[in-house]
Structure 1
């Protein structure tokens, strides 16, 4: 949606789940996908309420309409 423009703002990241080779081998592909989804989840609205961060720049919503259009046939 950003159309290649740079978005300035605070980013953070940290290790959530660390899994051994044996743990991963014991899981199905669906279980691995589930823990990846769980570990990557972020409630951005809640985070912004707790720790407000301003994102500055020009035309911050430019191109956002491309995120709001979904093909009913293929979902893209």
Structure 2
């Protein structure tokens, strides 16, 4: 689980750096990005705390879903930025 956590930490830092460059975007996308980032962080915390074997799969799927949503919004924000 440490490898997964390390990978997530590294990936999260890269994505957080992207937020700095997106400050001039439409406030709606900025708010969506912040909400998605928060969901991702909460899913990650849950994944790190879960102990019940029946909930580990749920924690993994939740984490992957939150990450996918965040990545989608990052790509959307980049497209918006490139069209400005």
TM-score calculated relative to the size of structure 2: 0.30
For CA contacts below 8 A with separation 6 or more, give which structure has more relative contact order.
1
TM-score calculated relative to the size of structure 1? 0.32
- Which protein has the bigger helix share? 2
Larger radius of gyration: 1
